[in-house]
Amino acid sequence: MELVEAIILSVLAASTPLLLAATGELVTERSGVLNLGVEGMMIVGAACGFAGAWLTGSIFVGALFGILAGTMMSLIFALMALGLAVNQVATGLALTILGVGLSGLVGAGFVGERITPAAHLSIPGLTDIPLVGRVLFGEDAFVYFSIALVVAVWWFLYRTRAGLILRACGDNHVSAHALGYPVLRIRTFAVMFGGACAGLAGAYLPLAYTPFFIPGMTAGRGWIALALVVFSSWRPGRLVVGAYLFGAVTILQLHAQGWGVGIPSQFMSALPYLATVIVLVLLSRARSGGSTAPAALGTVFVPDR
């Protein structure tokens, strides 16, 4: 039971940054914007988040630094892709390259430093329950916040008028504009939200997952978050399942190597992407029971008046 509990806790920790970043990207893509710069925003959030926590001694301040860094990076993307109508794919890739270089510059002076990681919840009597105690009542605040964020996004998208307008901008920006809705402003706020989530996801890595910063510590998690949005077919509920599935594959491949299972680790690492391809094929064949991509996703919009 201790081994099972340790595996579950590891899966939750590995899945949290994926869930945070993917939730933000889902809102961004629902508005009709494809931002491939998630990896760049995450790594800058990791560098700035660790810097903020190390300088102030506060995990909360570090998280705010990560959110602010991701938001500022997203504004660069919004200026180019929305303000100047530059190709969104090229802009997102450029943002990732910029983020990798900028994070190395910001974090150069903090490599090798350590901080006290985020505290875990401890409720006497509940946290000590075998197997489920630490899983349900012994996590850090980031884990609980990630779940609450998905619930809030689901409620916003499907239970509010503002969410309906945002989805309308993603499905048909011309009609939304004709009805008088400020499409570019709505998309800018969606991009900023996605950047804030990506920055927080990156900050989680040095603030809670590992109590130190190293260059490139996101290790492609931003790209996995992008795949998760497709895997979930742009549905918040499915996003949770996908995030924990991807996190489980990441952790189980490490345990499989320790157990001496004769499966190449490279194949285990490729499983999340293979699962994404399979789901895409199944959804395209069924044409029912799932959400398709927003119709205007990645399409440049220039108001005519």
Q: Over the stretch 52-80, which tens digit does the pLDDT of each residue have?
A: 999 999 999 999 999 999 999 999 999 99
- Rounded CA-CA distance 91/98 in Å is 10
- Number of domains the chain contains: 1
Q: 106 lies in a domain?
A: yes
Confidence of residue 23 (pLDDT cuts 50, 70, 90): very high
Q: Which of 96, 126, 106 is nearest to 206 (CA)?
A: 106
Mean of per-residue pLDDT scores for the chain: 88
pLDDT higher than 70, residue 234: yes
Q: 101 lies in a domain?
A: yes
Confidence of residue 48 (pLDDT cuts 50, 70, 90): very high
pLDDT higher than 50, residue 140: yes
Give the pLDDT score at 167.
95
Give the pLDDT score at 219.
86
Give the pLDDT score at 171.
94
pLDDT higher than 60, residue 211: yes
- Exposure string of 40-68, with b = 16+ CB inside 10 Å and e = fewer, is bbbbbbbbbbbbbbbeeeebeebbbbbbb
Q: 268 lies in a domain?
A: no
Q: 44 lies in a domain?
A: yes
pLDDT higher than 80, residue 202: yes
Q: 139 lies in a domain?
A: yes
Q: 36 lies in a domain?
A: yes
User: ∠ CA 137-142-146 to the nearest 5 degrees?
Assistant: 95
- Residue 140 backbone phi and psi in degrees, to 5: -85, 170
- Rounded CA-CA distance 272/120 in Å is 28
Confidence of residue 287 (pLDDT cuts 50, 70, 90): very low
Q: 299 lies in a domain?
A: no
User: Exposed (0-12), middle (13-18) or buried (19+): which is 136, by Cβ within 10 Å?
Assistant: middle
- Which residue range forms the structural domain that includes residue 210? 2-220
pTM (2 d.p.): 0.91
Q: 240 lies in a domain?
A: no
Confidence of residue 227 (pLDDT cuts 50, 70, 90): confident
pLDDT higher than 70, residue 2: yes
Give the pLDDT score at 280.
62
Query: What percent of the chain lies above the pLDDT cut of 70?
Result: 90
Confidence of residue 304 (pLDDT cuts 50, 70, 90): confident
More confident residue, 242 or 167: 167
Give the pLDDT score at 134.
83
Q: Which of the given ranges, 122-136, 170-184, 251-265, has the highest pLDDT on average?
A: 170-184
Give the pLDDT score at 203.
96
pLDDT higher than 80, residue 45: yes
Confidence of residue 123 (pLDDT cuts 50, 70, 90): confident
pLDDT higher than 70, residue 118: yes
